Structure 1
């Protein structure tokens, strides 16, 4: 079992948890994704592999989950941070950490997300008054102040959990690995199945019926290439045992080939849509009435 989480690690992870929610609503650099949360947390905790496994699992779990308007969604990023940190520090199985910590924390953080949104209305009302007063510097300051409740909605619970929850999680892991081994195995199995749930949600919202041909073709190509390059990898391993000078690795060739084929189809579809837009007549210009209602977008 590993040692407890050091304070500098707690501090860095807390700062990242505060940044990632701000990035998600302003900068949008993609650092506010579970796979990045797993990568960064794994680097800080000293176990990149575990971080990528947990981050990738939660990324696939929420792959098809979206939010519309002011709706809140589960915070898989914070769930990834805590699951990765406790998995590495307490020696917990990665898939068990996903099911036992990652998903529950991601769901509970909905409440802090709502609290952050509610608190942020204070600055929104101040901006309304500043707009009437034409105080532009004040508008800019209060816009930036609005990041404070967002950041604290993640930073405070992550800090408290990392700083004071380590011994509790270690005790739970010890029990799971001894008296409740059956429960630990069940949680690990559930964690391994969660990415499939994410894919199911994604397929539910994607126009799969409209493009069923691409779906079948993609599945077939993936299956064929995976089988082909698995055999190539096996052959390469056998050759490497015979010849010490053979060091070539084929681990990523299959995924690279599949990605390039997908990129080809995407480029062709993009060009096709551009041509269709050129052939269609220009849409009528939108007009606003005196009360602010927009006309011309009924389609």
Structure 2
């Protein structure tokens, strides 16, 4: 087990503010758990744990995407706290993922609360828009974004620094069966997240690629998944260029056959 120093906590707070603003604006997608987990591990001096925790969390959150006013569990707090809990308590990252979910839910509800309360600014924003008051609109955007950023900073600092001893005590006092339950749940979440992603993206014509990938990953003796990723990239490029040529072929076909205007259409 390790302890988080004040300097590390402040760096994590700063990182949370930056990626929190990125999540609010959906600008560079730095808020993805794989990035957040890796950066957290880098700050804590344990990149290996950060990569594993971030990768697990990324899979779990792969199919969870904000849509309109709906907000999934917060990926930033999930990736960050999974890494922090694994680092500070020494538990398996799968167990840490299950333990990190309450922090993710907390930030989810805070963001949903802001979605509702920030609607009070809309009347003022409409007025500024009618007046072409760019400075007024900028002030509203800066104010609301600053509130969100400050919230991320406060929640993360309290979670990783102030409450770290409490987290250690809770984890140490958990019975073995409960800890194992969190580990099993954390191990299942990546499969659930990937399944949700497949439910959206899976199409019948892509089934052969899915079978090929599953066979390669499951039965061929690779020391890591890099060869699988390379093969997947090659197949993706093949599919991309194949689909890119289809409109050209269709246009050529129309140009060759011509069109029938005998009906006046």
TM over 0.5: yes
Q: Higher relative contact order by CA 8 Å / sep ≥ 6: 1 or 2?
A: 2
Within a 5 Å distance, the mapping from 1:71-82 to structure 2 comes to 71-82=70-81
- Counterpart CA distance in 2 for 1:200 and 1:93 is 23
- Counterpart of 1:274 (choices 226, 239, 244) is 244
Unaligned 5+ runs, structure 2: 252-265
Q: Higher helix proportion, which one?
A: 2
Unaligned 5+ runs, structure 1: 231-251, 282-299
* Equivalent in the alignment of 2:19: 20
* Equivalent in the alignment of 2:146: 148
State the Cα distance separating 1:279 from its structure 2 match. Answer: 5.2
For these two proteins, the number of residue pairs brought into alignment is: 251
- Counterpart of 1:115 (choices 113, 116, 132) is 113
* 1:157-182 Cα shifts (integer Å, max 9, x gaps): 22222232122112112212xxx122
Within a 5 Å distance, the mapping from 1:1-299 to structure 2 comes to 1-3=1-3, 5-26=4-25, 28-100=27-99, 102-176=100-174, 180-224=175-219, 226-227=220-221, 229-230=222-223, 252=224, 255-278=225-248
Whether the 8 Å CA contact 1:208–1:215 is kept in 2: the answer is: no
For the structure 1 residues 256 and 92, does the alpha-carbon distance in structure 2 shift closer, same or farther, using more than 3 Å as the test? closer
- Counterpart CA distance in 1 for 2:122 and 2:248 is 41
* Equivalent in the alignment of 1:247: none
State the Cα distance separating 1:109 from its structure 2 match. Answer: 2.0
Whether the 8 Å CA contact 1:24–1:30 is kept in 2: the answer is: yes
Whether the 8 Å CA contact 1:76–1:103 is kept in 2: the answer is: no
- Counterpart CA distance in 1 for 2:84 and 2:210 is 37
- Counterpart CA distance in 2 for 1:11 and 1:55 is 20
* 1:259-284 Cα shifts (integer Å, max 9, x gaps): 23222222222223223334567xxx
- Counterpart CA distance in 2 for 1:140 and 1:14 is 25
For the structure 1 residues 55 and 280, does the alpha-carbon distance in structure 2 shift closer, same or farther, using more than 3 Å as the test? same
State the Cα distance separating 1:218 from its structure 2 match. Answer: 2.1
Whether the 8 Å CA contact 2:31–2:75 is kept in 1: the answer is: no
